[in-house]
Amino acid sequence: MKLPRLWSALGPALALAGASLLGGCGGEVISPQPLFGAKDAATREAPRAGWWVMVSPEEACGIDLAKPTGQWPDCARPVLLSGRMAGKLTVSEGEGDAVGIDYLLAAGEPMILQASLSSPPGDSGGYTYHVLRPTRRDARGRPVEIAVWPVLCGPPAPRAPSGRGGAGVTAAPWPSVEMSGGGCRVRDLDGLRDAARRSESLSGGAPLTVRWLRERRAGDQTDDQWLAKAMQ
């Protein structure tokens, strides 16, 4: 999975994003079944609806917010967040292949994005998790900038001298996880939230920050258009 596609998984917008950062870097908490259900959705903390991008691409990409999104530079990679905090996406991977992603943004401290690992619709490769921490809000209290962390099994293992990776997923698993294959599992929600808080506290800052740019307008891309662009 590609990093830009991970954060695109939420809402039919925060749902494509959940799945990319999550899907295959290793060292991330995975559960065979979802730990959150519809009753856990973060309705009051829902990020502001509209077009979102990764950190300040308008500074590097020269985005003209007055233009329709279809005329923005390719480097912008905008994602439309609809305000739906739970749902399912089925998107084409090309050549007739389809990817099904179930997603849910769970309320609590911290907020956690749950998303199914990419799989054919009807199949489940398990569920992965990311911390979403609002870092800026608008006048109505809606998140308009969010830092994102994967929920890890423990501090990343030191890299080998060659720089090609460490000896394992982590040298010191969190107390709340059980190592399994190339990742780990948690026993319950308390264990997941413990791993989420510990992962967020690691030094180095958030690996990904997303930012709201503006509301959707007439003439902007349709859902099918921006999803097709995001999956490229």
* DSSP-assigned letters across all residues of 146-211: EEEEE-BSSSBPPPPTTSS--SSSBSS--TTEEEETTEEEESSHHHHHHHHHHHHTSTT--SEEEE
CA distance linking residue 71 with residue 210, whole number of Å: 20
Contact indicator for 65, 58 with CB cutoff of 8 Å: yes
Of 170, 138, 132, which Cα lies nearest the Cα of 22?
A: 132
Query: Cβ of 204: how many Cβ atoms within 10 Å?
Result: 7
Per-residue tens of pLDDT for the chain, all 232 residues: 333 343 444 443 444 444 444 444 458 898 888 999 989 988 777 888 899 887 655 556 788 999 999 998 888 878 887 766 776 665 555 554 555 678 888 988 888 989 887 555 455 568 889 898 899 999 999 899 988 888 999 998 776 555 454 445 788 899 999 988 767 888 889 999 999 999 988 867 667 788 899 999 999 988 778 777 766 6
Structure tokens at 100: 């099904």
Structural domain harbouring 13: 3-230
User: What contacts 122, CB < 8 A, 6 or more positions away?
Assistant: 100
Q: What is the CA radius of gyration of the chain?
A: 17
What pLDDT sits at residue 42? Answer: 83
DSSP 74: G
- Residue 141 host element (H or E): none
Burial (Cβ within 10 Å: 0-12, 13-18, ≥19) of residue 11: buried
Of 98, 99, 125, 121, which Cα lies nearest the Cα of 34?
A: 125
Strand partners, 15: 9
Buried b (16+ CB within 10 A) or exposed e, 62-80: ebeeeeebeebeeebbbbb
Of 82, 60, 75, 53, which Cα lies nearest the Cα of 216?
A: 82
C-alpha distances (whole Å) from 37 to each of 68, 96, 104, 114, 130 are 36, 30, 8, 10, 16
Give the number of domains in the chain: 1
What pLDDT sits at residue 58? Answer: 55
| pTM of the predicted model as reported, rounded to 2 decimal places | 0.76
